[in-house]
Each structure stands twice: as C-alpha cells, then as structure tokens.
Amino acid sequence: KDVDLSNPDVVRYVVNRFGLRMNKKLGQNFLIRHAVVDDIAAAAELKPGDPVLEIGPGIGTLTQALAETGAAVTAVELDDHLLPVLDKTLEHYDNVRVVHGDIMRIDIAETMNHKPFKVCANLPYYITTPIIMKLLEQKLPIEKIVVMVQKEVAERMVAAPGSKIYGALSVSVQYYTEPRMLFEISPKCFMPAPEVTSAVVSMDVRQTPPVQVQDEKRFFQVVKTAFSQRRKTFSNTLKSAGLSKEQIAGILEASRIDGSRRGETMSLQEFADVADAWSHMAA
Ligand code: SAM
C-alpha cells in the first residue's frame, strides 16, 4: 500500500510540499484519522468495479480508502490548486478518475456514464443541503449515499415529525431515501479542526416513494409552503400559496387535516393527502 493519506504527518507534509492554503470558503477540512476514513468508506459497501462518486476529494484521503476497495472512483474537485496534488497522491491507483468541476454545475449523470452508482463524500459544509437536494431531485440512478455532514444537518435529515428540527430537508431525504445516522466525528479528526461536530449519514435510495402522491411537484410545494413560515398554522401557510379561504377549507376537509396544526407535526402521508386533495380540487 502507498503512503497513508489519513496520517496527520503525511497530510502536513503534502500541505507544505504543495504550499496549500486551506480554503475556508470551500469548506476545506481534511480528515486525519485512519479509522474514521476507513469507517466512512466501509459504510458505502463497495465491491471491486462498483462506480462511486466522491465529491470534494481534497488531497485524496477518502479517495484512497475508496480506491483500496477496488471500486471505480470518480472524484469531483472544484479547487484547481488540488489537481496537481491529487495527481501525485493518487498516482498509483488506476481505478481513480479526478474530474475538475463544481458539483453544483456539472452533469452528474453524464459524468457517471449514465450507469448506477453510489456516492461517498466528506461534503463541503457551505453547500451541504444544495448538494444533497441535487443528488435526490435529479432522479439519478444512485443506489446509496454516504455523506459526512455537520451533526445538526444529519439530525435534521433523520428527524421525525413533531420534533423541532423536522423540516423540508427531513421530508425530502425521507421521501427519496431511507436515512440512518451512523456515527459522530469530533473536530479533532480534521486539519484544520472545524468549529462543529460532524456525523455520517447513510441513505439507501428508495426504488418507490414511501407515500403515493398524484403530483410530486405539488407535494413538494405543500411541504415548502408548510415550513416557510414555521410559526404559522398550516392553514395560514396555505394562504401564501395563493389559495382562497374556501379552497383551503375544502382541501383540509378532504384530507382530514386540522388546519390549526403546524407543518412540523405533519407526516409524509399527511402532506401527500393534502397535495392530492389540492390536485382533485384543481382538476
Ligand atoms: N475528502 C477530503 C477529506 O475528507 O479529507 C476533503 C473534504 S473537504 C470537507 C471538502 C472538499 O470539497 C474540499 O476539497 C473542497 O475544495 C471541495 N469542494 C468545495 N466546493 C466544491 C464544489 N462546489 N464542487 C466540488 N468540490 C468542492
């Protein structure tokens, strides 16, 4: 095996050798704990030849652990300062392909050759939610997503109705996937140490949604509306979606929802019932 890119001395050496400045704006916190890196890679359950997408390889630490499984790794990195670094640190792996680009702008399906794949990444925290939403909403042929995120975001992803942190992210993640919180990671495991605790979430992408809904767009419109003004009652939030009093009353009656509730108490099924009642009325 090559040099261990999760070894703190190696990371320090690479950073000095290439004169890198950790770019805070790009969320550059590099992992320096071998066991943690191995655990994240193991959570992806990769077999030799499996296509896997890594977002933000940094100096190649997690990339190395993914490559060691024999998987076919595609790593998308935005920072061009890191390209010569990755060229060097991963030079002995012929199963790694580094792509220079912004994950929010590239065509992911095209990059992954329109074949089923998994995602495994230590995400840049400034765009965690947009990245997760892009992966989910584009209906890409993804089997599993393993991501390290801020602990607070991980908790929102797996939150159940009725908890304070349950929101639009919880509903989306749970609509498209079965998420599980795997483990927490202390700031000490990174260089430089971030201010927050991190956590790893594994999401098995669902073949079929957990609730049936006639019009998915409307379902997500209802969800977005319900959480856009968290202090308002559900009934009042529907007003901001452009519905009249009578229409709202009709929808609430048909879906048997008490309009005085808050969005954060509503299950996926209840959001689906409201969306379907709205669709019926609009038809
Ligand atoms: N995987 C490495 C590790 O675990 O040590 C580094 C992870 S670091 C938290 C996030 C990485 O994402 C950085 O290398 C950063 O340059 C990269 N990055 C930031 N924004 C990006 C974007 N829009 N597209 C692709 N990569 C991005």
Pocket of ligand 1 (CB under 6 A): 26-31, 55-58, 61-62, 76-79, 82, 102-104, 122, 124, 127
133 alpha carbon – ligand 1 mean position (Å): 17
CA dist list (Å): 275 to 14, 113, 170, 222, 251: 53, 35, 17, 7, 9
Predicted TM-score (pTM) of the model is 0.96
Residue pLDDT, tens place only, 65-102 = 999 999 999 999 999 999 999 999 999 999 999 999 99
- Amino acid residing at 95: N
Known binding residue 29? Answer is yes
Over the chain (283 residues), what is each successive 10-residue block's mean pLDDT?
A: 90 96 92 98 98 98 98 98 97 97 98 98 96 96 98 98 95 98 98 96 97 96 93 93 94 96 96 96 81
Q: What are phi and psi of 106, to 5 degrees?
A: -75, 160
Known binding residue 56? Answer is yes
Regarding an ipTM greater than 0.90, the answer is yes
Over its C-alpha atoms, the chain yields an Rg (Å, rounded) of 21
Q: What are phi and psi of 160, to 5 degrees?
A: -95, 155
Cβ-count burial of 113 within 10 angstroms (0-12 exposed, 13-18 middle, 19+ buried)?
A: exposed
The pLDDT > 70 percentage for the chain reads 100
Residue pLDDT, tens place only, 245-263 = 999 999 999 999 999 999 9
